Amino acid sequence: GAGVSQSPRYKVTKRGQDVALRCDPISGHVSLYWYRQALGQGPEFLTYFNYEAQQDKSGLPNDRFSAERPEGSISTLTIQRTEQRDSAMYRCASSLGTAPYEQYFGPGTRLTVT
């Protein structure tokens, strides 16, 4: 079946604009995770959901970042008033159930804030 998909794959935005990044997990996967990955570094945890419930948002850098998964499937990561330091690869992953399960990563959204 289809893997995790993310859109857009590339996003260039001007400083101060809001952006919304979408993640479509593997069908039937209960858990969905958001990570940020800087070049040459490992993924950095942002937040995760089980079904529609946000379980842990301790990795969100500040209150400009938010995420939702209203129907327990597709998720959106929103960054308000973007800043240049927000430029990174944003990755979504999903897993079949709650811990500990392997995570399936999507291709990522490359965000560039100019």
Partner 1 sequence: GQQVMQIPQYQHVQEGEDFTTYCNSSTTLSNIQWYKQRPGGHPVFLIQLVKSGEVKKQKRLTFQFGEAKKNSSLHITATQTTDVGTYFCAGNPNTGFQKLVFGTGTRLLVSP
- Rounded to whole angstroms, the Cα distance separating 3 from 78 reads 22
> Backbone phi, then psi, for 84, in 5-degree steps?
-60, -35
Distances (CA, A) of 81 to 14, 15, 63, 71: 9, 7, 10, 26
Region from 11-19, 67-75, 77-85, 87-95 binding partner 1, contact rule CB under 8 A = 87-95
Contact between 109 and partner 1 by CB under 8 A: the answer reads: no
Region from 17-25, 44-52, 61-69, 72-80 binding partner 1, contact rule CB under 8 A = 44-52
| Residue 69: count of CB within 10 angstroms of its CB | 23
38 contact partners, CB below 8 Å, separation of at least 6: 44, 88, 89
Of the candidate residues 67, 77, 108, 113, the single one contacting partner 1 (CB under 8 A): 108
Contact between 26 and partner 1 by CB under 8 A: the answer reads: no
Of the candidate residues 44, 64, 80, 87, the single one contacting partner 1 (CB under 8 A): 44
Region from 11-19, 33-41, 64-72, 74-82 binding partner 1, contact rule CB under 8 A = 33-41
